[in-house]
Amino acid sequence: MNLDLSRDVDSKLNRIFGEYFGGGPSVSNVLTFNSLASVHKTAEPPAFKLSFDAATL
């Protein structure tokens, strides 16, 4: 049996979460992270901090 939210609740949560957390990750951030992670082979790529300062924080 599959569960999902009622349309009304889903739309209200979408508004609330959007208000407090913004729109979520952008494609460019995801690509940047993946590229850096593959180059540095570490969970904490040292250059990562440079890729998301002003726009996303």
Partner 1 sequence: MVSYLANRVMTTKGQKACMVIDHLVEALAGDPSSPLRRAIILIDIDQHSGSTQTGVMERLSIHKSALNREIEWLFNYGCIVMRNSEHDGRAKSLEVCGYSKTGLKTALRYFENDHEKLKAFLEDVAHVLKQEKPTLRDAKIVTALFEMRSAPRQKVVDSLYNAPITSNHRAINKLIEEGIVKTDESRSE
Q: Kindly determine how many residues on this chain lie close enough to bind partner 1 according to the rule CB under 8 A.
A: 33
| Residue 27 lies near partner 1 (rule: CB under 8 A) | no
| Residue 35 lies near partner 1 (rule: CB under 8 A) | no
Tokens 């995801």 belong to which residue? 30
Q: How far is CA 48 from CA 16, 27, 29, in A?
A: 29, 15, 10
Give yes or no for a contact between 56 and 29, defined as CB atoms under 8 angstroms apart: yes
Among 31, 39, 40, 56, binds partner 1 (CB under 8 A): 56
Tell me, rounded to whole angstroms, the distance of Cα 45 from its chain centroid. Answer: 17
| Residue 1 lies near partner 1 (rule: CB under 8 A) | yes
| Binding interface with partner 1 (CB under 8 A) | 1-6, 9-10, 12-14, 16-25, 29-30, 33, 43-46, 48-49, 52, 56-57
